[in-house]
């Protein structure tokens, strides 16, 4: 299972490549793709009704049998065609997935594993645990592989997130009229906060992940799909005797720019993998 960003390829592509390089699909029969909802509000998760997803290099077949199984749990709704088409967190990963599958299974897409796209909404902690319980048996099956789509900090006035952690003292929210902080530089503070969140993710504790996001307010757009899969990994450890299910390991961190002024902005990209 990997975590990889979903921004424009010129921005986040180099970071995403680190995750996809670590992604072993050699035994895969199904690819589960989880991403956040940017435009459609929901409190659970949603599934695609499409039979295929198109990419510039070829189509990926959606596994309608698995989406029907998931829908039958009552924890998933169906996406409309327009909602499905509008959500870039899933779309931006499709060419990466197609390319990695073609490298492993050859150029004939008929031999590719099928796709299970899942859009995760604004879920509560209990809903993340519930969804994690549902997905845990699929995660336990090593013929299933997972991609979690997420960028990390969206920092700047335009994102309404200007959290700043000084070298000493309490964190503050910077304003446009604030004196320019220098210890540390704003971009270093952003990195510190991102690394706190990445550390919580690497801890393997769903609760630690929720706590650090609550403390910092970090604008990790894929916080909920990450939370769902952290809950699923915990389920494997606790109930399915899969003590070998590992926590995430981050292999790349990058940003769209280095923020030096309050009026600047940046988006952070982090790539990780885990073996379950």
**How far is Cα 207 from Cα 212, in angstroms, rounded to an integer?**
9
Beta bridge partners of 253: 270
Lowest mean pLDDT among 137-146, 176-185, 240-249: 240-249
pLDDT at 167 over 90: yes
Q: Are strands 266-273 and 154-155 parallel, antiparallel or unpaired?
A: antiparallel
CA 117 to chain centre: 13
Structural domain contains residue 177: no
pLDDT at 194 over 90: yes
pLDDT at 136 over 80: yes
Lowest mean pLDDT among 201-215, 218-232, 244-258: 244-258
Residue 81's pLDDT is what? 96
Residue 239's pLDDT is what? 81
Mean pLDDT throughout 87-98?
Answer: 97
Q: pLDDT tens digit string along 54-68?
A: 999 999 999 999 999
pLDDT at 241 over 80: no
Structural domain contains residue 17: yes
Give the domain range for residue 92. 2-155+220-273
Residue 3's pLDDT is what? 99
Question: Model-level pTM greater than 0.85?
Answer: yes
Percent of the chain with pLDDT over 90: 93
Label residue 245 by pLDDT band (50, 70, 90): low
Contacts of residue 248, defined as CB under 8 A and 6 or more positions apart, other chains included, come to 3, 201, 202, 204, 230, 272, 273, 274
pLDDT at 244 over 90: no
Structural domain contains residue 18: yes
Structural domain contains residue 172: no
Lowest mean pLDDT among 61-75, 77-91, 172-186, 219-233: 172-186
Domain count, the chain: 1
Q: Is 244 exposed, middle or buried (0-12, 13-18, 19+ CB in 10 A)?
A: exposed
Residue 167 CB neighbours (<10 A): 11
Residue 178's pLDDT is what? 84
Mean pLDDT throughout 4-15?
Answer: 97
Structural domain contains residue 202: no
pLDDT at 135 over 90: yes
pLDDT at 19 over 70: yes
Q: What is the mean pLDDT of the chain?
A: 96
Structural domain contains residue 92: yes
Instruction: Reduce the DSSP state of residue 272 to 3 states and report it.
Output: strand
Residue 238's pLDDT is what? 86
CATH code, domain carrying 32: 3.40.830.10
With left for phi above 0 and alpha for psi between -120 and 50, is residue 182 left, alpha or beta? alpha
Structural domain contains residue 162: no
Residue 242's pLDDT is what? 64
Q: Which of 251, 232, 271 is nearest to 149 (CA)?
A: 271
Contact in structure between 220 and 150 (CB atoms under 8 Å): yes
Structural domain contains residue 144: yes
Which string of DSSP letters, residue by residue, matches 188-238?
Answer: HHHHHHHHHHHHHHHHT-HHHHHHHHHHH----TTHHHHHHHHHHHHHHHH
**How far is Cα 16 from Cα 7, in angstroms, rounded to an integer?**
9
């Amino acid at each position: 299972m990997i975590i990889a960003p979903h921004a424009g390829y010129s921005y986040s592509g180099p970071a995403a490549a680190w995750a996809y390089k670590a992604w072993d699909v050699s035994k895969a029969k199904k690819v589960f793709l989880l991403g956040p909802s940017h435009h459609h509000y929901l409190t659970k998760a949603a599934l695609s009704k499409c039979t295929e997803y198109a990419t510039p290099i070829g189509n990926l077949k959606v596994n309608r049998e698995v989406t029907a199984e998931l829908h039958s749990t009552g924890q998933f709704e169906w996406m409309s065609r327009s909602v499905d088409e509008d959500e870039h967190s899933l779309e931006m990963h499709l060419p990466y997935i197609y390319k990695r599958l073609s490298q492993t299974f050859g150029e004939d897409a008929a031999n590719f594993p099928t796709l299970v796209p899942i859009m995760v909404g604004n879920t509560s902690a209990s809903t993340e645990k519930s969804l994690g319980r549902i997905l845990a048996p699929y995660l336990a099956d090593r013929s299933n592989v997972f991609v979690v789509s997420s960028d990390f900090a969206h920092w700047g006035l335009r994102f309404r997130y200007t959290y700043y952690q000084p070298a000493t003292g309490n964190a503050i929210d910077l304003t446009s009229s604030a004196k320019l902080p220098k210890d540390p530089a704003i971009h270093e503070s952003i990195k510190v906060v991102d690394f706190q969140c990445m550390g919580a993710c690497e801890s393997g504790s769903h609760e630690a992940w929720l706590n650090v996001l609550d403390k910092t307010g970090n604008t990790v757009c894929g916080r909920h799909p990450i939370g769902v899969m952290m809950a699923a990994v915990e389920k494997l450890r606790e109930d399915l005797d899969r003590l070998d299910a590992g926590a995430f390991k981050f292999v790349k961190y990058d940003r769209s720019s280095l923020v030096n002024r309050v009026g600047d902005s940046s988006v952070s990209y982090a790539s990780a993998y885990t073996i379950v």
